[in-house]
Amino acid sequence: MLLSTLITGFGLGSIYGLMALGFYLTYAVSGTVNFAQGSSMMLGAVLTFTFAQTLGWPLVPAVVLALALCALYGLLVEYIAVRPFVSRGSDAWLMGTVALGIVLDNVVMVAFGKEPRNLPSPLAETPLALGSAGLGVYPLQVLIPVVGLALAALLHAVSRRTRWGTAMLAVTQNRDAARLMGIPVRAVVAAAFALSTLLAGVAGVLVAPLFNVHADMGTLFGLKAFAVAILGGITSAWGVMIAGLLFGIAEALVAATLGSGYTQILMFTLVIVVLAVRPNGLFGRAQVRKV
Q: Which domains are assigned to the chain?
A: 1-113+138-277 (1.10.3470)
Q: What is the pLDDT of residue 109?
A: 95
What's the rounded Cα separation, in Å, for the pair 289 and 291?
A: 6
Q: What is the pLDDT of residue 291?
A: 46
Q: End-to-end distance of the chain based on CA atoms, in angstroms?
A: 55
Fill in the amino acid letter for 263. T
Taking only the tens place, the pLDDT of each residue in 189-207 is: 999 999 999 999 999 999 9
Q: What is the pLDDT of residue 181?
A: 82
Taking only the tens place, the pLDDT of each residue in 102-134 is: 999 999 999 998 889 999 888 888 888 776 666
pTM above 0.85, yes or no: yes
Q: What is the pLDDT of residue 133?
A: 66
Q: What is the pLDDT of residue 162?
A: 83
What's the rounded Cα separation, in Å, for the pair 280 and 60?
A: 40
What's the rounded Cα separation, in Å, for the pair 211 and 14?
A: 15
Low-confidence ranges of the chain (pLDDT < 50): 290-291
Q: What is the pLDDT of residue 132?
A: 65
Phi, psi at residue 129, to the nearest 5°?
A: -135, 145
What's the rounded Cα separation, in Å, for the pair 182 and 186?
A: 12
